Chain A
Amino acid sequence: QQQVKQSPQSLIVQKGGIPIINCAYENTAFDYFPWYQQFPGKGPALLIAIRPDVSEKKEGRFTISFNKSAKQFSLHIMDSQPGDSATYFCAAGEGGSEKLVFGKGTKLTVNP
């Protein structure tokens, strides 16, 4: 029940494409859903996060879509660039808890 299932495991798109990464959760107590971007040999960087009171949030080229009834959320990257090639992790947290539960990650490759 504490798991966050992330798919796909890897994704290859052409420059300008819109990669979509999906995550699903079971614990209805989760109320915070961040996405992290990690480059090889670096720590994850907080990209964007959403609370369940909204269904969509945009920051620059990154958009989170959230479906509370389906217990799913996804990351869309508009006009993807080769520099977006990285591993992306979704996570979920519960307000009263300190911990985040992470998905297994998606390796994104954006070809020139």
Chain B
Amino acid sequence: GAVVSQHPSRVICKSGTSVKIECRSLDFQATTMFWYRQFPKQSLMLMATSNEGSKATYEQGVEKDKFLINHASLTLSTLTVTSAHPEDSSFYICSAKDPPYEQYFGPGTRLTVT
């Protein structure tokens, strides 16, 4: 299957700082990428849908000013958690759509805010 990478795999930051997470599709062009958040022992919670060259579409209840998403190219999307707080600590996972249907996930990023 297609490969999606994420960087970094783990990050620890202090409260009030910003953190950027990168998501890349390595062997296909993804016009659409998705960002999910996953709490322990729970399902995947879609945060936003990102289309190359346009503004991201955020799910209800997700603060777009806190979770900034940029999809600058067909292989790269970034999620920036701004002014992070301990409640933002979570497992963030991106996925990329290989048209027309398949969606491939990255390995995830564990964010810990102290």
In the assembled complex, how far is the CB of residue A84 from the closest CB belonging to chain B, in whole angstroms?
Answer: 18
The answer to whether the Cβ of A36 comes within 8 Å of any Cβ in the partner chain is yes
Residue of B nearest to A104 (CB): B43
Give the shortest distance, in Å, between A105 (CB) and chain B (any CB): 5
Taking the complex as formed, is B97 at the interface, i.e. its CB lies under 8 A from any CB of chain A? yes
Q: Which of B6, B103, B110 touches A46 (beta carbons < 8 Å)?
A: B103
**In contact, B110 and A44 (Cβ under 8 angstroms):** no
Q: Are B100 and A99 in contact (CB under 8 A)?
A: no
Q: Are A99 and B46 neighbours in the complex by a CB distance under 8 Å?
A: yes
Other contacts beyond A34-B102, A43-B107, A49-B101: 15, CB < 8 A: A34-B103, A36-B105, A42-B108, A43-B4, A44-B93, A45-B1, A46-B102, A89-B43, A89-B44, A93-B103, A98-B49, A98-B51, A100-B103, A102-B44, A105-B43
Task: Kindly identify which residue among A43, A102, A104 contacts B106, using a CB–CB cutoff of 8 Å.
Answer: A43
8 residue pairs, one from A and one from B, having the closest CB atoms: A43-B105, A43-B108, A32-B101, A43-B107, A104-B43, A44-B105, A43-B93, A98-B32
Total interface residues on B, CB under 8 Å, equals 26
B43 close to A41 (CB less than 8 A)? no
A-B contact pairs, 9 of them (CB 8 A): A43-B6, A43-B106, A44-B105, A46-B105, A49-B101, A49-B102, A93-B103, A100-B103, A104-B42
B interface with A by C-beta (< 8 Å): 1, 4, 6, 32, 34, 41-44, 46, 49, 51, 91, 93, 95, 97, 100-108, 110
| Binary contact readout A45-56 vs B (1 if CB under 8 angstroms, 0 otherwise) | 110010000000
A95 at the interface (CB under 8 A from B): yes
A93–B43 CA distance with the chains assembled, in angstroms: 16
> Across the interface, which residues of B come within 8 angstroms of A98, CB to CB?
32, 34, 49, 51, 97
